[in-house]
Amino acid sequence: MATISLRLALLLIGGLFYSCLHAQENMQFTGTLIEPPPCTINQGKMIDVSFGEHVAIAKVDGAHYQQTIDYQLTCNANAAKTGLTLTLRGTASAFDAAAVQTTKPGLGIRLILGERPFTLNTPFTVDMARLPALFAVPVSEKGATLTEGQFDATATLLAEYR
C-alpha cells in the first residue's frame, strides 16, 4: 500500500513538473540597440592652460593663479535625453584626488567643476543645457618645498553618454 501511494505521489509531482516545463510563453522582450554618436570636446583640439612665467612659489595655495578652462561640447541632440557625464582621466597627485600630478614634486593642478573639486577618474553627471564652468589652479602638498623651474601636467577630458 505504501509503495502504491509513493508511486502515485511521484506520478502527480512529475506531472506538475512536466506541465510547468511546457507552459505557454506569456512574455516577450524587444528593443533596438544603438551606438550613440560620440561627443566632441573643443572640436577635437588640445585645451592648453598656461599659468604664465611668473608663478610665485609662496602663492601656490589653491587660490592664486586660478585659470578658467574654456571648453565647448558638441553632442548629438539625444544627449540631453540619455544624460551625459564628464570624466577627467589622468594621474592624480598623491596629496589631492582632484589634482593632476605634475613634473614638479609636491605640485599639482587642482581641477574644479562648477564649485566642487573635479576628482580624477570619477564621472560627474552634467546638464548639456548648462555645462558647469571648469577651472584649474596650482596647489602644493602640505609641507612640500617647491623648487623653481618649469612644470607640466596632462589629463584627458571625456564626455560620455550615460
- DSSP class of residue 42? G
Domain count, the chain: 1
The pLDDT assigned to 69 comes to: 96
Residue 34 lies in a domain: no
Residue 14 lies in a domain: no
Kindly indicate the confidence band of residue 8, based on its pLDDT and cuts at 50, 70 and 90: very low
Rounded to 5 degrees, what are φ and ψ at 58?
-65, -20
Residue 30 lies in a domain: no
Residue 55 lies in a domain: yes
* 19 neighbors 140 (Cβ within 8 angstroms): no
Which helix (H) or strand (E) segment holds residue 15: the answer is helix 2-21
Residue span of the structural domain in which 151 resides: 40-161
The CATH number that applies at residue 71 is 2.60.40.1090
pLDDT digits (tens, 9 = 90+) for 104-154: 999 999 999 999 999 999 999 998 888 999 999 999 999 999 999 999 999
- Grid cell for residue 162: 550615460
